[in-house]
Structure formats: C-alpha cells, structure tokens
Structure 1
Amino acid sequence: MGCMPASSSRAPGPFTPLDFQLVLLRRMADHNPGLVDGARRDLGVSVADMREANRRWQAMARSPRSRGAASRYRSVLGAPETTARRTIGDLECEALRWPVPLWPDLRFEALLAPNGAVWNEYLVRAPGAPAPRLRTLDDLTPWSCTIDEAAHAFAPARPLEGTAPTRWGLAFRAPDANGELRDCAAEFTWGLLQRVGVRD
C-alpha cells in the first residue's frame, strides 16, 4: 500500500488522484472501517478530508454542467495508463485503465460503450500482477480479490443486485476449511471484495 507523509486537513483545490482514492475508500467504509482507516492514515488524510472528497465527487457527477464520466475520469486521473478494445458479448467497447497507488497490483478500469458512455467502472488486476489463489472460503478475505477473479475461481457464479451504486454481489458455492461446499453471497465495492456471507 502506498504511503504519503501525514498532513492536516487539506485546503480546497483541484480534484486530484488522491481525492479519487478517498472516494473509493468512502464507499468501502461501511463494510471495512478498520481497513479504510488504515489506508486513510497511509495517505495522510483525515476522516473529514475523505468525506469532503466524496461530497465534491458527488457534486461534480450531479452538476447540470457535468461532463460525461469518461471525461471526468480523464480530468481527474490524467491520461489512461492503457487503452484497449474489448468485445463483451455483442458489445465492442474501449477499456481505459489508471493506476491506483493504494493498491499497486490493481487498476481502475472504465469501460466505454461505442457512444462514449461509461457502462462499467471498477477495480481490476493489473496486467502482469499475480492473481490471488482462491481455493476455499478462507482465501476470500476483504480486499483480497476482484469480482472477476472470484467469479472465475468459483464458477459458475451468479450476479446479485448491489445494495447501492458501485456495489455488486455474487452468489456461488465454495469449499470451507473442511472441504464442504457452502452457498455464499459475496459483496464487492468498486469491484473489490468487501465481505462474504455463508448460508447455514
């Protein structure tokens, strides 16, 4: 996890990649406050800074003068690290990826439809970064994997409706420590695993 020197409350200014990381963390705080507090301290920012970054992001997204999501990501995060054409079903789209210093092995990806609209935006594994070994429930710890990795490791997985924007769910079966298959429901925020529930 990347580190920055500790600082006091930050003065208002341009919305930066650091602010964007705080937006990602703010959405994860409901599920894993301890992990989020540790990441926030590594970034050297306060709880108030995180809340303010989220407030500003929401205001930008809802503004009548708001640019499209892709333009907003470019203005905040800069030029994508990589761009690639991708075909998903019958849809051909463009995948834009940016580094996320908090998670060096991950990238933030926005998928653009042919009309330029962003139809998916989440964290994915960086090209060349080692994927986690997901074999049992014990491997499914918070922030350990992306939604794509969990779906692949425990196929067939069924998508579940998320409880809020930027949240998704997966239903699948996974072995416990004793090798017994259990029915599971996993929750993801921005594509990163937050928690797993097991049906008795």
Structure 2
Amino acid sequence: MADHQPDLAEDARRALGASRTEMREANRRWQAWSRARSGPGELHRYRSALGEPESRHVVEAYSAEILRWPLPLWSDLRWEVAIGPTGRRTPTQVWGCGLVRAPGAPAPELRSEADLRPWSCTIAEVANAFPPAHPREGSAPTRLQLDFTLPGGTRRTAEFTWGLFQRLL
C-alpha cells in the first residue's frame, strides 16, 4: 500500500511502533511467504501469522467458507479469506482474500468523488455507493480496479490494494 500512499504507510508504521528496519524485515518475510511454492499452504500461513479467525461462516451456495481476522491497525476492518474445495489432494484452497468492513462498524458515507479518500473505504462500499460498478484486474495480483458511475453520470475508475481504496485513476 506504500506504493500509492507512502505518507499513510509511514503514519501506520509509527502507530504500530515499528522501526523502518522492522517494517522492511516484515515486508521481506511477507514477500518470501507469498511467493513460496512449497510449504503448508496459504490458509495455514494465514493462521500462523494471524492466529485462529475471529469468525467463520459457510456460504452453502458456493461450498465456501469465509474466515475473518481482526487487525491491530484497522479496528473497523477485517482480513477476510474465502476458501473452498479444490478437488485435489488438499481439501480446500484460498479463493480470495482482502480487507472488508467489520460487522457493525459504520461504513463511510460515499455520495460524491470528494468522499473517496485513501484507505477510507472498501471495494464493496464503493461499488454499492456508485452503481453500476464493474471490477477488473489491476496492475498487480493484490490490486483491483473498479469502474463506476458518479451521481450525474460521470464514469471513474478507482484502484484498490487488498480491497482498500487507494486512488482514482
């Protein structure tokens, strides 16, 4: 997220009480983890990094399970992982993951372009506030873009990292 919002990332680093060296080391470990081709599997890695999920629920229509973890930096967001069957040797695989609003946490009021501030809203919140909205691939695997329509008919594209708003393109 520091690619798009370095000042916010620096503020977050300070809020967590981490040094720049600790931040770089954590990023190095994350990059190594996320690119590892072998090991216990992606879901196990999330559990080893975040502990047991705060909540879980089954979406029977898709034979999927949604797991959510709280995050120390964002109390009003959760890290969400959707898992489902693979049909292979492993019984489940991660279908997707990203940041979502915590149950009961107030979502921002999104009425205009001015309400879209970095790190303030999730992709689902923008899509719901400004229909019609159409997601598409972003510039990296952790990024998505969302084409949407502002009141008055103006079309815009927003970029999200891990499901959190970063910028308008």
Q: What TM-score, normalized to structure 1?
A: 0.77
Give the aligned partner of residue 3 of structure 1: none
SS in 2 for 1:29: coil
Give the aligned partner of residue 12 of structure 2: 39
Instruction: Verify the 8 A CA contact 1:60 1:66 in the aligned structure 2.
Output: no
Q: Share of identical aligned residues, percent?
A: 56
148, 154, 163: which one pairs with 1:182?
A: 154
Q: Distance in 1 between matches of 2:40 and 2:33?
A: 8
1:64 Cα deviation after fit: 4.4
For the structure 1 residues 165 and 86, does the alpha-carbon distance in structure 2 shift closer, same or farther, using more than 3 Å as the test?
same
Unpaired runs of 5+ residues, structure 2, are 87-91
1:77 Cα deviation after fit: 0.6
1:131 Cα deviation after fit: 1.3
Equivalences, count: 164
Q: Distance in 1 between matches of 2:145 and 2:39?
A: 29
* Matching of residue 99 in structure 1 with residue 70 in structure 2: yes
Q: Distance in 2 between matches of 1:64 and 1:129?
A: 36
> Which 4+ stretches in 1 moved above 6 angstroms?
none
Look up the equivalent residue of 1:196 and give its one-letter code.
L
Alignment of 1:46-57 (within 5 A): 46-57=19-30
1:47 Cα deviation after fit: 2.4
Give the aligned partner of residue 18 of structure 1: none
* Matching of residue 162 in structure 1 with residue 138 in structure 2: yes
Look up the equivalent residue of 2:103 and give its one-letter code.
P
Unpaired runs of 5+ residues, structure 1, are 1-27
* Matching of residue 133 in structure 1 with residue 96 in structure 2: no
Look up the equivalent residue of 1:100 and give its one-letter code.
L
Q: CA RMSD in A?
A: 1.4
1:54 Cα deviation after fit: 1.5
